[in-house]
């Protein structure tokens, strides 16, 4: 039983409608990390509900409670739990995607309006925030459903959907919901496998299937002292300056060649075996791939294996920003009263956010004491997620492999991803089933960055891939 050609033909012939759908979704700025956009995250949830309901899916919103964001207590966006089909003779596939996006402003360096889907004819690609992360893939599933409904084709599997609106901000509240809904008789009970389309190929040529993700520990380090911002001519040289303390501490976290300076972090890392090392060698990847997707010749090493291991199996620490610092044009001579540095660590087996938090707290506290500063320091762990590694030989991966070969006529790379999807391990543990990551976009898509894009062929073939995967899963038993 392979995917009927009427389904894949429908996808090929309905590009205009699918692009319109993606365009409508990109136009909703569903930024989860900024309270000012919370209504748009809700609007996005309603939009998805309407799309799914129109295709015969039963949709429920699950209230995840409230959160405190930017000093305000606000409602969390709902988890969308939906389903279609309940045939005991068919496998049940759970599809996860997220409908929130990272922030984006044209002034960040976008060439086009970030919340407008813009076609670039020359490069045959669509620009827009969320095009690849993760609205394109989420909508890919809706397109697949439409292709079945409109061609009168019965789905080969039962489908359950879990779409969340807080993935880019720590997936608040979702863990508890998954645990609850995995109990006997509840919504997720009886799921046979999970598929997540929310990452990218390693390069721009070869599709991949992903069996690992790094975890995450995100920190906010606040230094405050004066009661108000001060004049540096009046107070420079007379008071402890928060910014000076903060920069000193931030500079002690990681070296320019990416070595993490926090004692104990590397001791937790699972040892490398010769078998694992061989896997990296086999991947279709070169230094030019990392340089192409970064847009500059700035790879840390010329050794492909080192670079791959740096992304897939080593921890990393990145400095993201400083809240409260002077950043406008001009030359304001201010001493900011309070500044907060944001940094995060990507975690690998056997690191956990709890263990990392203890190590970071102990180190930052002792380094701050060495400064003999009269300022105050506060370290907050904003959110975290555990690393995840699955079995790439499971039938779920084999189904995704056959689907990839059928659509792209290429054998996929088997990769571990450097990014994090914190909820993956929760599905894996609560349901005790295989989770496959089946990406739609390419390695140079620029997720989280300026000018995020999705190639036209990845959107269309990627949609065919998702549909074909469902048929290959149906072949597994
Ligand atoms: C891989 C996925 N598409 C993604 O971008 N995940 C985010 C998750 C996150 C956690 N905090 C903020 N975002 C990531 O890896 O950064
Ligand atoms: Zn994502
Ligand atoms: Zn993301």
Q: What CATH number does residue 342 fall under?
A: 3.30.70.360
Q: Residue 370 — very low, low, confident or very high, per pLDDT cuts 50/70/90? A: very high
Last residue of a domain, one of 385, 403, 437: 385
Q: Residue 239 — very low, low, confident or very high, per pLDDT cuts 50/70/90? A: very high
Q: Which residues line ligand 1 (CB under 6 A)?
A: 133-134, 167-168, 170, 198-199, 216, 218, 419-421, 447
Q: Does residue 384 surpass a pLDDT of 90?
A: yes
Question: Other C-beta atoms within 10 Å of 446: how many?
Answer: 21
Average pLDDT, the chain: 97
Cβ contacts of 342 within 8 Å, gap of 6 or more: 218, 219, 220, 221, 319, 320, 321, 322, 323
Expressed as residue numbers, the domain containing 362 is 215-269+314-385
Give the number of the atom of ligand 1 that is nearest the alpha carbon of residue 214: 15
Q: Does residue 118 surpass a pLDDT of 60?
A: yes
Q: Residue 477 — very low, low, confident or very high, per pLDDT cuts 50/70/90? A: low
Which pLDDT belongs to residue 71? 86
Looking at the structure, tell me whether residues 370 and 454 fall in a common domain. no
User: Does the residue 49 lie in any domain?
Assistant: yes
Q: How far does residue 86's CA lie from ligand 3's centre (Å)?
A: 32
User: Does the residue 291 lie in any domain?
Assistant: no
Q: pTM (2 decimals)?
A: 0.95
Looking at the structure, tell me whether residues 205 and 230 fall in a common domain. no
The 10s digit of each residue's pLDDT in 198-235 is 999 999 999 999 999 999 999 999 999 999 999 999 99
Looking at the structure, tell me whether residues 333 and 455 fall in a common domain. no
pLDDT > 90 fraction of the chain, expressed in percent and rounded: 99
Q: What is the DSSP letter of 260?
A: B
The enclosing domain of 426 has a CATH number of: 3.40.630.10
Last residue of a domain, one of 353, 385, 417: 385
Can you tell me the ipTM of this complex? 0.97
Query: Measured on CA atoms in the order 462, 467, 472, 477, is the torsion positive or negative?
Result: positive
Looking at the structure, tell me whether residues 72 and 186 fall in a common domain. yes
Q: Which of 32, 138, 448 to mutate to test the pocket of ligand 1 (most atoms within 8 A of CB)?
A: 448
Widest Cα–Cα separation across the chain: 79
Q: How far does residue 437's CA lie from ligand 1's centre (Å)?
A: 14
Tokens of 152: 């009168």
Catalytic residue among 100, 367, 417, 452: 100
Which pLDDT belongs to residue 70? 82
Q: Does residue 167 surpass a pLDDT of 80?
A: yes
Among 128-137, 200-209, 275-284, 463-472, whose mean pLDDT is lowest?
Answer: 275-284
Ligand closest to the CA atom of residue 98 = 2
Q: Find the angle CA(284)-CA(288)-CA(292) to the nearest 5 degrees.
A: 110
Looking at the structure, tell me whether residues 163 and 84 fall in a common domain. yes
Over range 75-95, report the average pLDDT. 98
CB 269 within 8 A of CB 315: yes
Which pLDDT belongs to residue 250? 98
Closest CA to 59 of 187, 211, 207, 169: 187
Which pLDDT belongs to residue 227? 98
Question: Other C-beta atoms within 10 Å of 413: how many?
Answer: 20
167 is catalytic: yes
Over range 170-197, report the average pLDDT. 97
Looking at the structure, tell me whether residues 329 and 402 fall in a common domain. no
User: Does the residue 309 lie in any domain?
Assistant: no
Q: Which of 137, 167, 382, 423 to mutate to test the pocket of ligand 1 (most atoms within 8 A of CB)?
A: 167
Q: Does residue 303 surpass a pLDDT of 70?
A: yes
Give the number of the atom of ligand 1 that is nearest the alpha carbon of residue 33: 12
Give the number of the atom of ligand 1 that is nearest the alpha carbon of residue 213: 1
Q: Residue 1 — very low, low, confident or very high, per pLDDT cuts 50/70/90? A: confident
391 is catalytic: no
Looking at the structure, tell me whether residues 256 and 355 fall in a common domain. yes
Looking at the structure, tell me whether residues 153 and 12 fall in a common domain. yes
Task: List the binding residues for substrate.
Answer: 198, 231, 333, 346, 420, 448
User: Does the residue 76 lie in any domain?
Assistant: yes
Last residue of a domain, one of 385, 408, 423: 385
Q: Please tell me the total count of domains within the chain.
A: 2
Q: Does residue 61 surpass a pLDDT of 80?
A: yes
Looking at the structure, tell me whether residues 252 and 197 fall in a common domain. no
């Amino acid at each position: 039983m392979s995917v009927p050609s009427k389904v894949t033909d429908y996808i090929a012939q309905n590009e205009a409608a699918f692009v319109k759908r993606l365009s409508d979704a990109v136009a909703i700025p569903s930024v989860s990390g900024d309270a000012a956009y919370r209504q748009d995250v809700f609007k996005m949830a309603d939009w998805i509900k309407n799309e799914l309901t129109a295709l015969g899916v039963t949709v429920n919103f699950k209230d995840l409670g409230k959160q405190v964001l930017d000093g305000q207590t606000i409602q969390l966006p709902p988890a969308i739990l939906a389903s279609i089909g309940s045939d005991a003779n068919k496998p049940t596939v759970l599809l996860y995607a997220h409908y929130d996006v990272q922030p984006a402003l044209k002034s960040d360096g976008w060439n086009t309006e970030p919340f407008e889907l813009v076609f670039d004819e020359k490069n045959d690609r669509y620009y827009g925030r969320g095009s690849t992360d993760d609205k394109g893939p989420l909508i890919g599933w809706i397109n697949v459903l439409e292709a079945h409904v409109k061609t009168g084709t019965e789905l080969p599997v039962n489908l359950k959907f879990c779409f969340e609106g807080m993935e880019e901000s720590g997936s608040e509240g979702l863990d508890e919901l998954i645990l609850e809904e995995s109990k006997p008789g509840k919504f997720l009970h009886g799921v046979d496998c999970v598929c997540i389309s929310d990452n990218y190929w390693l390069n721009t040529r070869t599709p991949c299937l992903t069996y690992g993700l790094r975890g995450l520990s995100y920190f906010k380090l606040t230094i405050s002292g004066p009661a108000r911002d001060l004049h540096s001519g009046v107070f420079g040289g007379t008071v402890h300056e928060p910014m000076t303390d903060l920069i000193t501490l931030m500079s002690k976290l990681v070296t320019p060649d990416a070595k993490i300076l926090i004692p104990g972090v590397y001791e937790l890392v699972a040892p490398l075996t010769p078998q694992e090392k061989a896997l990296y060698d086999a991947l279709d990847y070169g230094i030019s791939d990392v340089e192409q997707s970064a847009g500059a010749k700035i790879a840390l090493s010329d050794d492909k294996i080192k670079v791959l291991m740096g992304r897939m199996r080593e921890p990393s620490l990145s400095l993201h920003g400083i809240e409260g610092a002077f950043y406008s044009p001009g030359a304001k001579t201010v001493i900011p009263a309070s500044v907060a540095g944001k940094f995060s660590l990507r975690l690998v087996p056997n690191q956990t956010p709890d263990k990392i938090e203890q190590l970071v707290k102990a180190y930052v506290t002792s380094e701050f004491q060495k400064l003999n500063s009269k300022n105050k320091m506060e370290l907050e762990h904003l959110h975290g997620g555990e690393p995840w590694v699955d079995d790439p030989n499971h039938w779920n991966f084999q189904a995704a492999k056959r689907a990839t070969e059928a659509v792209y006529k290429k054998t996929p790379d088997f990769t571990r991803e450097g990014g994090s999807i914190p909820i993956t391990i929760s599905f894996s543990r609560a349901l005790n089933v295989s989770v496959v990551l089946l990406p739609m976009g390419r390695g140079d898509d620029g997720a989280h960055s300026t000018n995020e894009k999705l190639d036209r062929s990845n959107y269309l073939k990627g949609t065919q891939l998702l549909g074909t995967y469902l048929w290959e899963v149906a072949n597994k038993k």
